A and B are shown apart, each in its own frame.
Chain A
Amino acid sequence: MSQKATIQKLIDIYIMGKRYQVPQGLTIQDALEYAGYQLIRGVGCRSGFCGACGTIYRIKGDPQLKYALACQTVVEPDMYLTQIPFFPTEKAIYDIEELDPSGEQVLQLYPVLLTCMGCNSCTKSCPQDLEVMEYVADAIRGNIAGVAEKSFDCVMCGLCSARCPAGLSQPNIALLCRRLYGRHIAPRAEHLAQRVAEVESGKFDDELKALMGMPEDELRRRYGERDIES
């Protein structure tokens, strides 16, 4: 597949302050490996879902800090970078079934919410471009559905927490709210509960048993003739 992308131009990047030359066009993650790191920390899915590879960087000459997932971001010349593979965030312990889906409940588990000073650092640091400060505000107001909706794409990388002057654990607060929403606020699927009851009553057992014992050519015939829902 790749005789092609033979070494293009080499560019300078700085990994934890040390200069390396890497081919232009690589992701930050590939560049770290190209430089010789066999990663154990700061790598997981390699496709933007797990949040293991949170990275903070700055380009020489620009004071602005930038935030990225290393596996989804291409290196730039004179990039100074470090990974934040772990950040010590707070996590409340609870039994989701017994909780009350209310703002008071969320505040009781995460009283630190009230110390948010509205600086918006969290939103600026989110590599998923989520409105983090807004969902924090929703949590404070008890708008659990709002938090669930706005935080849904959170990969729990922790970059927002790393930047929060008030020490909030935004990803865990959002997770609590999504679980409260999913468990207690969203309407339950009635057809699902009904189907589970049917399964438990043994309603499908005979039919399944017959299929399990069926000769292959009969199974093939039925498979070929089954109607397709469109």
Chain B
Amino acid sequence: MYPPEMQESVDNVIATREQRLKESYPVLSAEEKATLLQGFHPDSIAGGMRELQIGPNKGERTPNELADLLEGNSRIDPDIIDLDMVDYDVDVLVIGGGGGGAAAALLAQENDASVMLVTKLRLGDANTVGAEGGTQAATKPQDSPAIHYLDAMGGGGFTNIPALVDALVHDAPGVIHWLESLGMMWGKEPDGTLLTESGGGTSRKRMHSARDYTGLEAMRVLRDEVRNRGIDVLEFAPVVELVMDEEGQVAGAVIINFETDEMVLVRAKAIILATGGGGRLHYQGFPTTNHYGATADGLVIAYRVGAKLIFMDTMQYHPTGVAYPEQIVGQLVTEKVRGLGAQLVNSDGEQFIFPLETRDAVASSIIRECKERGKGLTTPTGQLGVWLDSPMIDMLRGPGTIARELPAMVRQFQRFGIDMSKEPVLTYPTLHYQNGGILIDDQGRTTIPNLFAAGEVEGGVHGRNRLMGNSTLDIFVFGRRAGKAAAERARETKPGKLTLEHVRQWQRQLKEAGLEERPRSPILIPDYTRHGRIASLSGSFASGLE
């Protein structure tokens, strides 16, 4: 049930539905799309980004909030830490307990390495569990890895690194199969045929899902497997700095026990960063779909050892974040809702975009509809949004489809008294994904010896815009590749003496650039306490707070 001031607009949506069921909005031409992005995508707002002044990506642009942290000071004092006091000595250290980290740990262990996985919160507290929509892979006869390749390239604006896209689409069917073999309950027909749907920017139905709990289901299975195989897991153990050796290779990590503040030193022959994204930095004040620990720590610590980043000037805003009710603003309404047939309509009940354009285009079109054309709806608390006409799904595909395919979405709105199978839901773009990240090659190697990266923390795979379903694929493809490659590397490498000289060097560079007053990073978690919000933030995303 919507309040009366919103109901009028809901009635407009209902009034045009019959007619819209028969209509399809035209797809954008390449030129129209370029103009739309240029005019309305948050990435094109000039004041939102600035050039980095030091480090491997000096001179390149990135959001202000991220630049502050990339140019931040270390949380540790290199002169106080005793590098002879090693607490754990392992072949492969995996940093991050999401899907990418879990896959990497399993594969490193299968390739005979001793493995330790450390993570900031609990194993599985990660963006991975939130993935609702699905995972791409060309598993059907009418599809092929080559078509998947074209879709991913087109989605990324042809900026993707070809060798990485090749790896992505090549390994994709194998990833679905691996998870099936581990007992993941992919959605299937009674005869075992995988259910697949369209996604934004895909030319084939290749989105594999487990209802709308796809990431949760994958994570539950992999977490269980990590535990069954006895892999050492350290929870509430964020890494605050990488350690190098005198040969210039990455060779360990400084961790803090999040609850006792105790330092822990791990030496490792190879390290895999799988720390995910940075939505909790709230670029330009946007709300986010990301989990609490998504604060770009991996980028920060990798940057400080000299690892090159790529495409750090492009972030993904998911077109359909919740705009009402207030309590869950910014939470995701999965693209699967559009994949199943729901249209986007303005406050007058008119369509304004083909619902399955790529995300950058759909998000921009919603911002245009609201900010330029004034055809968004304003909620009682001042939030702008457009309607996602979810009830169309059951009309197109039969009653019960929404309940069966979207239980998490139904529950999310039901908790606040909205029945999405009968009423449309109000949405607005929300900060969702880091398109770029640490530059890797097709084995997950970064530009620094013995340092690997997998998942949302790396970049290049998706170019400047990731397609839905290619990230939960990416984390498993590159998690598995990096796990194997790191185990192999651990056998060959000759570790040298540990050092934190790079931290001292970094501090000298900060000083030379006049940046020594920079805040300490990585920040590990955002500060949402009342005093913290007032002190450090514009407050624009602090729903319900001043």
A-contact bits for B444-471, CB 8 A (1 contact / 0 none): 0000000000000000000000000000
Give chain A residues whose Cβ lies under 8 Å from the Cβ of B407: 152-153
Which residues of A93-151 have CB atoms within 8 Å of chain B's CB atoms? 93-97, 128-129, 148
Chain B nearest Cβ from A175, distance in angstroms: 6
Chain A nearest Cβ from B125, distance in angstroms: 4
| Closest B residue, CB atoms, query A229 | B204
Q: Which listed residue, A192, A211, A212, touches B177 by the CB 8 Å rule?
A: A192
Are A208's CB and B145's CB within 8 A? yes
> How far, in whole Å, are A208 and B204 apart by their CA atoms in the complex?
17
Are A128's CB and B203's CB within 8 A? no
A-contact bits for B198-213, CB 8 A (1 contact / 0 none): 1000011100001101
A-contact bits for B526-546, CB 8 A (1 contact / 0 none): 011111100000011111111
Give chain A residues whose Cβ lies under 8 Å from the Cβ of B169: 208
Are A1's CB and B176's CB within 8 A? no
Q: Which listed residue, A44, A152, A193, A199, touches B125 by the CB 8 Å rule?
A: A44
CB within 8 Å for A2 and B139 given contacts A33-B529, A192-B194:
no
Q: Which listed residue, A1, A179, A204, touches B144 by the CB 8 Å rule?
A: A204
A-contact bits for B160-201, CB 8 A (1 contact / 0 none): 001101100111011011001111111010111110001000
Chain A nearest Cβ from B473, distance in angstroms: 14
> Interface residue count for A (Cβ, 8 Å)?
85
Are A180's CB and B173's CB within 8 A? no
Count class of interface residues, chain B: 35 or more
| Closest A residue, CB atoms, query B543 | A2
> Does residue B381 face the partner (Cβ distance < 8 Å to A)?
yes
Main secondary structure of the interface of B (DSSP, over half): loop
CB within 8 Å for A212 and B162 given contacts A38-B527, A47-B332, A192-B173:
yes
Are B546's CB and A50's CB within 8 A? no
Give chain B residues whose Cβ lies under 8 Å from the Cβ of A49: 129-130, 213, 215-216, 408
Are A47's CB and B289's CB within 8 A? yes
Give chain B residues whose Cβ lies under 8 Å from the Cβ of A178: 183, 185, 217, 220
Which residues of A41-90 have CB atoms within 8 Å of chain B's CB atoms? 41, 43-50, 52, 72-74
Are A208's CB and B166's CB within 8 A? yes
Give chain B residues whose Cβ lies under 8 Å from the Cβ of A45: 125, 129-130, 291-292
Chain B nearest Cβ from A97, distance in angstroms: 8
| Closest A residue, CB atoms, query B198 | A229
> Does residue A219 face the partner (Cβ distance < 8 Å to B)?
yes
> Does residue B234 face the partner (Cβ distance < 8 Å to A)?
no
> How far, in whole Å, are A180 and B150 apart by their CA atoms in the complex?
37
CB within 8 Å for A219 and B144 given contacts A45-B125, A49-B213:
no
Give chain A residues whose Cβ lies under 8 Å from the Cβ of B331: 46-48
CB-defined A-B contacts under 8 Å, sample of 23: A2-B383, A5-B326, A30-B528, A30-B544, A38-B528, A40-B259, A41-B259, A44-B121, A46-B331, A50-B124, A50-B126, A50-B291, A93-B230, A148-B185, A178-B185, A182-B180, A187-B188, A191-B139, A195-B139, A195-B173, A204-B170, A207-B146, A227-B203
Q: A47-B331, A152-B210 are known contacts; what are 5 more A-B pairs with Cβ within 8 Å? A: A2-B542, A2-B543, A33-B529, A40-B258, A191-B141
